[in-house]
Amino acid sequence: MTFSQRLTRSVRDKGNAVLVGLDPRYESLPDAVKTGSVAESFERFCTEIIDIVAPLVPAVKPQAAFFEQYGPAAMSALERIIRYARSKGLLVIFDGKRNDIGSTAEAYAAGILGKDSAWGADALTVSPYLGSDSIDPFVKVCVERAAGIFVLVKTSNPGGGMLQDLQCGTQPLYRHVAEYVERLAQQTDGSVGAVVGATWSQQLTELRSVMPTAWFLVPGYGSQGGTAKDVQGAFRSDGLGAIVNNSRGIIFAHQKSPQSRWQDAVEAAAKAMIEELPLRL
């Protein structure tokens, strides 16, 4: 099965399109998991999150930067977290926004993508701004290993428009990137997808018409201001085609419910998001 087919199956099986971001910040962790080193605390926290959400959602998205900042021990913890999530039946999207040219791109793709790679991730976020020869190695590995990539098209951050909205000919740059992503999606049975932020609801709807084949990874929901109404334009007419990420709003839900067990707060937040985003199949 291709990555797109596996993602479709997982979304259908779980009955929702919720993606839980694993963005551990040490200062925000529950006190109960702050035992031992930072790396040990991160691993304990993330594996407990996985235990909670694995029966509920189709995928998780660990953000590499939060592990990288603490060095090799935390990166080793990330590798074990990815393997643990996969063992629980979750798809894993490695959020590293990688890219480079030639053999360097080949190394990133080979090391991160596919269950038998060093990192064992199902998919990876990728930047497009080095051009097609920097994307081709990732696409090749996606096809060979039934993996996926999500290419940055219209990101959720306020400053993204500095480059993405630049007028190039008759349309903004993000439209040119979107058209390129759609061509790749058609060539790979949907295994090349797009990152399009929930904070740009009008462009989200616009880009769905430009990219009818591609899966969307939609950040910006919850803490960044995106709502259930904002993300509706990301979905295709068949009710599929998008996964909507929520990181802080789920994994740090205990901060809003200090009287609850932190695990119960996480479960309640995940279920609340699922109810807010009913899958319309």
Residue 8's closest CA among 189, 226, 256?
189
User: In the prediction, which pLDDT does 223 show?
Assistant: 78
Q: What's the pLDDT tens digit per position in 190-231?
A: 999 999 999 999 999 999 999 999 999 999 998 788 899 999
Cα–Cα distance list, 226 to 18, 196, 276 (Å): 14, 12, 12
**Which residue out of 97, 115, 140, 271 is catalytically annotated?**
97
97 a catalytic residue: yes
From the options 3.40.190.10, 2.60.40.730, 3.20.20.70, 3.40.50.300, give the CATH code of 3-276. 3.20.20.70
Q: What's the pLDDT tens digit per position in 78-136?
A: 999 999 999 999 999 999 999 999 999 999 999 999 999 999 999 999 999 999 999 99
User: In the prediction, which pLDDT does 222 show?
Assistant: 84
Mean pLDDT of 51-63: 98
User: In the prediction, which pLDDT does 229 show?
Assistant: 94
Q: Where are the domains of the chain?
A: 3-276
The β-bridge relationship of strands 171-172 and 18-22 is: unpaired
Q: What's the pLDDT tens digit per position in 151-169?
A: 999 999 989 999 999 999 9
Higher pLDDT, 143 or 225: 143
Q: What's the pLDDT tens digit per position in 222-268?
A: 878 889 999 999 999 999 999 999 999 999 999 998 777 999 999 99
User: In the prediction, which pLDDT does 129 show?
Assistant: 94
User: In the prediction, which pLDDT does 204 show?
Assistant: 94
Query: What's the CA dihedral at 208, 211, 213, 218 to 10 degrees?
Result: -50
In our burial notation (b when 16+ CB lie closer than 10 A, e otherwise), range 217-244 reads: bbbbbbebebeeebbebbbeeeebbbbb
Q: How would residue 55 be classed by pLDDT, with cut points 50, 70 and 90?
A: very high
User: In the prediction, which pLDDT does 145 show?
Assistant: 98
**Burial category of 115 from C-beta neighbours within 10 Å (exposed 0-12, middle 13-18, buried 19 and up):** middle
In whole angstroms, what separates CA 75 from the centre of its chain?
18
**Burial category of 260 from C-beta neighbours within 10 Å (exposed 0-12, middle 13-18, buried 19 and up):** middle
Q: Is the pLDDT of residue 175 over 80?
A: yes
Q: Is the pLDDT of residue 38 over 80?
A: yes
